[in-house]
Structure 1
Amino acid sequence: MRKLFFISLLLFGCNESSSNENTPKYYYDLAGFINQQISQLSKNQPITWKNLLIGEKTESIQTKDIDWKKELELFLQADLNKQSYQLSYTKDSTQNKVVYQLKKGENLPVKVLKIEFDQENSPKHIDALIQVANYLYKSEKNLSMDLDKKQLKNYQIKGWQELFIGQKKNFKMIGVVGK
């Protein structure tokens, strides 16, 4: 259980607050969608299988006891509808996919957000790349999420973190949501 606490610190230690509900929506409302998932998962408490890898250490658990707001916090951070993000991304879209790419010269943590939609125009796959670099800390987080009929099926967070006084630590978390 101590490892789970560590991975939480590792993944969420340096985050930015979620978007404000009053902020105009220039981009897809990822935060609104993720908050719907959090509400649904918190209500249903499905069995979830989690595999964690930090460096060379692995841990696997099966649980119904998940704080989904904390579990999906990084996906909330990938939402682009923050005041400081307005007009900072290019948009490339097709009928069933949208890709937001950080514009050259911009310095924001979310570098890329990709969303694929099903026939009902609901997200079926989400990918995001978050990179942070400052004097004390560097990190990269690759997020992905698969959904079926608006229901989360699995999610993955992988990447690395490096403190200025330490070594680079690789991590990976995979969650598979049951019924």
Structure 2
Amino acid sequence: MRNKNYLVPFKTILILGSFVALVACERPAAPPSASAAASYDLTAYLNRQTERLQKEQPMVLKSVTTQHQQTETIETTDLDWTDELAIFQDVDLSRPALRDFYTETTTTLPNGNTQLLYTKSETSAAPVQYLQLQLTPGRQLQRLEAMVLDKNILFYSKRKIVLTANPAENSNISSYHIEGTQKLIFSDSLHYNIVANL
């Protein structure tokens, strides 16, 4: 395993990620709605997983690929799970102010699972373009997929994120994948892939 240059591609991603946080406050707030209710409490699930992972510190095989660079791969137990799962916390639509902007579609899949699809209205400026959750008949999360788009005159970021969980093990996270493109004004686009397997 190559460990030495592991942080090199992350530095650029972290710098751009910090810029996202700075410009995010420019998004218009949605009006609150007391009647909106979440079909699945993603935040509660992720909080439980974060607490468990911080305590157990499991071995993780993590790879980062950026354009024109070789894939950097490490095997480690030393991860800050609050940071690792933050992007998945960001796509939680259970907050009433966000749910007003989305249409929910429920589908029963051939394997008996339920698929919840939240699609953003065309007039909304919310960054989450869609959120798709697959739940077992026992309401355990098996898969999450979302597309997140942030853009303004200075910055562009598009990320497809996928998280898989194992219902046979209390729906514990088994892997996650982030495929993204980021661009600051007057700079080239950065394409990257992050894959982690527990």
- Band of TM-score, shorter chain: 0.7 to 0.9
Q: TM-score, normalised by structure 2?
A: 0.80
1:14-163 superposed matches below 5 A:
14-15=20-21, 26-27=37-38, 28-57=40-69, 58-82=71-95, 84-95=97-108, 96-149=114-167, 150-163=171-184
Distance in 1, matches of 2:12 and 2:45, equals 27
Note the residue ranges of structure 2 that are not aligned, 5 or more in a row.
1-6, 26-32, 109-113
TM-score by length of 1: 0.88
Secondary structure, in 3 states, of the residue corresponding to 1:14? helix
Out of 15, 18, 21, the residue aligned to residue 9 of structure 1 is 15
SS at 2:119 equivalent: strand
What CA distance in whole angstroms lies between the structure 2 residues aligned with 1:156 and 1:137?
22
Task: Give the Å deviation of 1:86.
Answer: 3.5
Post-superposition offset of 1:36: 1.1
How far apart are residue 12 of structure 1 and its match? 5.3
Query: Which aligned segments of 4 or more residues in structure 1 are displaced greater than 6 angstroms?
Result: none
Unmatched segments (≥5 aa) in structure 1: 18-22
Q: How many residues align?
A: 172
Report deviation, 1:14.
1.1
RMSD: 1.9
Q: Percent identity?
A: 23
Instruction: Output the amino acid matched with 1:139.
Output: S
2:189 corresponds, among 165, 168, 174, to 168
Shift of 1:81: 2.7
Larger radius of gyration: 2
